[in-house]
Amino acid sequence: MTAISGKVVAITGASSGIGEATARLLAERGAVVVLGARRTQRLDELAENIRDRGGRAITCATDVARREDLEGLVGRAVAEFGRLDVLVSNAGISKIGPVADLDVDGWSAMIDVNLRGVLHGIAAALPVFRRQGHGHLVTTVSTSGLKIVPTQAVYAATKNAVRTLLEGLRQESTDGVLRTTAVSPGFVRTELADSIDNAQVREQIRHTMDEFAIAPEAVARAIAFAIEQPHDVEIGDITIRPTVQG
C-alpha cells in the first residue's frame, strides 16, 4: 500500500510524454487512472499496458479545448469509481516562435489548450471536489514562465496565466477542501517539440532536448510526491529541470 493507493486520478495529455509517465507511475503505486487525450489509440494501448501490469486504467477521448470533453472526463471518473481525488491538467502545446512572426493562430491554439484547457478542467472538477469535501488540482506549467526567453513569450504567458489562476484559486480555497499544485518542468524529453510549427525553432528545441533534457519519469515522480502528501499538506510549486539547464 502507498499513500496513492486507491486514489482516482484523471490525467489530461496522457497519451505521451509527462502525462503518460505520470499515468504509469501513479498506476504502479495503486492509483486508478482515467486517461484523457485526443489520440485515443495511444490511450487505449497505454491503458491496456497498465492493466496487463495489474493496474487500473480507463480512457476517455478528451480535447481540453472543449468544455464538454472535460465534463465527460471528470463525469466518467465519478460514474465508474464514485469520485475524483485528483485532476492532473497536463495537456499542452508549444507553438513557439518570435512574437514578430505574428502567428495569431498558434497563439490562439496555445491559449485554447494551455489556459482554457485548465479552466475547463477546473469548471468540471471543482463542483465534484466541493461536493466530496476534498480534491487536488495538479497542473503542468513550465520554467518558461520563470525565466522568460526569446521565442517563448506567448507560451510562457499561457503558463504564467495558469500560475496566476492557481494562486487566486488557492487564496479562495482555504477552507481545506482543495489542494493546488503547479509543477514547472524545464527541458523534458517528450514529443512536445512536434507541436512547434517554426522549423528552425523546432530543430533548436529538439537539439537541446537531445543534449540534456531529463526523462518524463522525473516529472512523474514530482507529481506523485505532491499527491502522496496527507491532505492537510499542500505542495504549491515544484520546479524540476535538468541540473545543467541555464
Q: Among 10, 24, 58, 62, which residue interacts with ligand NAP (rule: CB under 6 A)? A: 62
Q: How far is CA 71 from CA 58, 75, 111, 149, 180, in A?
A: 16, 6, 19, 35, 19
Q: Check residue 91 for interaction with ligand NAP (CB under 6 A).
A: yes
User: What's the distance, Cα to Cα, between the start and end of the chain in Å?
Assistant: 39
For the bound state, the minimum distance from the C-beta of residue 176 to ligand NAP, rounded and expressed in Å, comes to 28
Closest CA to 196 of 187, 206, 188: 206
Which residues lie across from 140 on neighbouring strands? 183
Q: Check residue 38 for interaction with ligand NAP (CB under 6 A).
A: yes
Give the number of residues in contact with ligand NAP, rule: CB under 6 A: 30
For the bound state, the minimum distance from the C-beta of residue 239 to ligand NAP, rounded and expressed in Å, comes to 10
**Residues taking part in catalysis:** 155
Nearer to ligand NAP, 77 or 231 (CB): 77
Nearer to ligand NAP, 169 or 177 (CB): 169
Q: Check residue 145 for interaction with ligand NAP (CB under 6 A).
A: no
Which residues lie across from 6 on neighbouring strands? none
Residues in 158-217 that interact with ligand NAP by CB under 6 A:
185, 187-188, 190-192, 216
For the bound state, the minimum distance from the C-beta of residue 214 to ligand NAP, rounded and expressed in Å, comes to 9
- Assess contact for 91 and 117: CB atoms under 8 A: yes
Q: Check residue 151 for interaction with ligand NAP (CB under 6 A).
A: no
Cite the beta strand spans of the chain per DSSP E. Answer: 8-12, 32-37, 56-61, 86-89, 135-140, 178-185, 237-240
For the bound state, the minimum distance from the C-beta of residue 1 to ligand NAP, rounded and expressed in Å, comes to 29
- Assess contact for 161 and 169: CB atoms under 8 A: no
Neighbours of 52 (CB within 10 A): 8
Which residues lie across from 37 on neighbouring strands? 61
Nearer to ligand NAP, 134 or 221 (CB): 221
Contacts with ligand NAP by CB under 6 A lie at 12-19, 37-39, 62-65, 90-94, 113, 140, 142, 185, 187-188, 190-192, 216
